[in-house]
Structure 1
Amino acid sequence: MSTIKIPTSFNIDLEFQAADLGQRFLAWLIDFVIKVVFVVIFVMIVGNMKDIFNNEGLSAIFLLGILIPVLLYPLLFEMYMNGQTPGKKAMDIRVVSMIGNTPSRSQFFTRYIFRIIEQPIFFWALLPIISILRSPLKQRVGDIAAATIVINIKTKGSISETIFRDLSMTDYKPQFPEILRLSDRDMNKIKEMLDRALLGDKRLAERVATRVKEVLKINTTLPDTVFLETVLNDYNYYTTVEK
């Protein structure tokens, strides 16, 4: 598998492995089977209602009841399952942006539109296969156009191990703009101390929170661990979301 280095805003390069062609094919196959099962069940449910198919209007409604879910399957699942479809989830792979966070809706939509010319029908299947095999980051054409990559999420170097929090898809409201006076190194140290505190060392959380409040002259009634989490989220917001 190809190794991908994703730079973050915190002076850390995260290493991931690009999902290989075999993983992506098996994920596609699982999703294909799910869609086929859905169609079969749908047809079985309405199959006994033969009179409906004698009515063109009702026939069209039932046809759309099959086509729309099947056609929108990859877009909706990836958009609302954090870059995964059931097939991708089963294969432990995920779509991310080129900076490692969840892609925007426009990126998901761009990937989806390019599926039109990348469907595995006749010789069209050669296009995504050739693209994935020749791309250094194992990207299909839709990935290149959308600036996304598909990674193996079982590999080490998870973004969750850093101070990164993906706030791009939320309406997060920061509370402490003073946090920008701290450095990336400071924030990584706070994250390290918070992780230790969450394992049961409440006194450590109190000491760290008190020190941060003193340095930044912050007055708050938030519990110590909640305050430190908010500090990390605020720093992420100001350095990755607000531009």
Structure 2
Amino acid sequence: MSKIGIETTQNVQLNFPLASVGERIAACMLDALFIGVCAFFTAMMVGLLGEAFAIGFVFLVPMLFYTLLFETFMNGQTPGKRIMKIKVCKIDGDAPGFIHYLIRWMFRLVDISLTNGVAAILTIVIGEKGQRIGDILAKTTVVKTNHSMKLTNTILSEVPDNYQLVFPESRKIEDKDLELFKRVIQQLKTMNDPVEKLTFGLKARTKVMEKLGIKTEMQPEQFFQSLIDDYNFIHKNV
């Protein structure tokens, strides 16, 4: 399985499995099917009501911006991508913004429409980061989503009322840091090589310790879980 190492804004590199060409094609075909169904019902309504311009504007224009709208409002996913469990992300680890989705949408004309998808397939296969032309320009790629670990198991952890704060420096933690902590824990759980696991964990721990001003010899997985618990305790009592 191809993976991409994404350097986050906290300077911690995480590995994400890239979506395969087959998965991306399947997602595209599912989206085409949904668009086709919408177009069919729009045509039926035009035939029944005869209000071609009004109905066409209400239904056909949104279909033209189908990918752009869904990726913007569904966090990098269209219905087809959600079914295939893949999503758009930036190669620097940040969440894409509207401008990134817009660039990808604009270059669908070259990647998919004008070349029947050949340009997209070639650039994805040849490149190392699973990017079509639109992705390269938007600095994005498409990765698999992992639903094996629920968010509530990490970020939204329950802490007892008598919980003792482990690191007072946890007050410096920002909301955006929590997703990083969750991903580090998740990646540690999936690593089988003990040396690779320890090296990655210590490197990630060192980066975060430097940012928060913490000094500890706590094991990496326990360290990141403690930061998450501290954050929940602090905000529970705000």
1:216 alignment counterpart: none
Q: Deviations over 1:65-123 (max 9, x none)?
A: 333111111001101111101100000101001122210111111111111222345x4
Query: Which is further off, 125-134 or 88-97?
Result: 125-134
TM-aligned CA deviation for residue 38 of structure 1: 0.9
Cα–Cα, structure 1 residues 37 and 94, in superposed 2: closer, same or farther, change >3 Å?
same
Residues 1:86 and 2:85 are matched in the alignment: no
2:31 alignment counterpart: 31
Residues 1:129 and 2:129 are matched in the alignment: no
Cα–Cα, structure 1 residues 30 and 47, in superposed 2: closer, same or farther, change >3 Å?
same
Cα–Cα, structure 1 residues 151 and 43, in superposed 2: closer, same or farther, change >3 Å?
same
Distance in 2 between the 1:156 and 1:141 partners?
31
Cα–Cα, structure 1 residues 164 and 43, in superposed 2: closer, same or farther, change >3 Å?
farther
Residues 1:224 and 2:217 are matched in the alignment: no
Q: Which runs of 5+ in 2 are unaligned?
A: 156-172, 178-210
Aligned length: 186
**TM-score, scaled to structure 2:** 0.65
Paired residue type of 2:233: D
Paired residue type of 2:139: A
How do 1:69-218 and structure 2 match up within 5 A? 69-120=62-113, 123-154=115-146, 165-166=175-176, 182-183=213-214, 191-193=224-226, 195=228, 197=229
Paired residue type of 2:97: S
Rg larger for: 1
2:53 alignment counterpart: 60
Paired residue type of 2:102: F
Kindly indicate whether the alpha-carbon contact (under 8 Å) linking 1:27 and 1:90 is maintained by their aligned counterparts in 2: yes
Kindly indicate whether the alpha-carbon contact (under 8 Å) linking 1:137 and 1:149 is maintained by their aligned counterparts in 2: yes
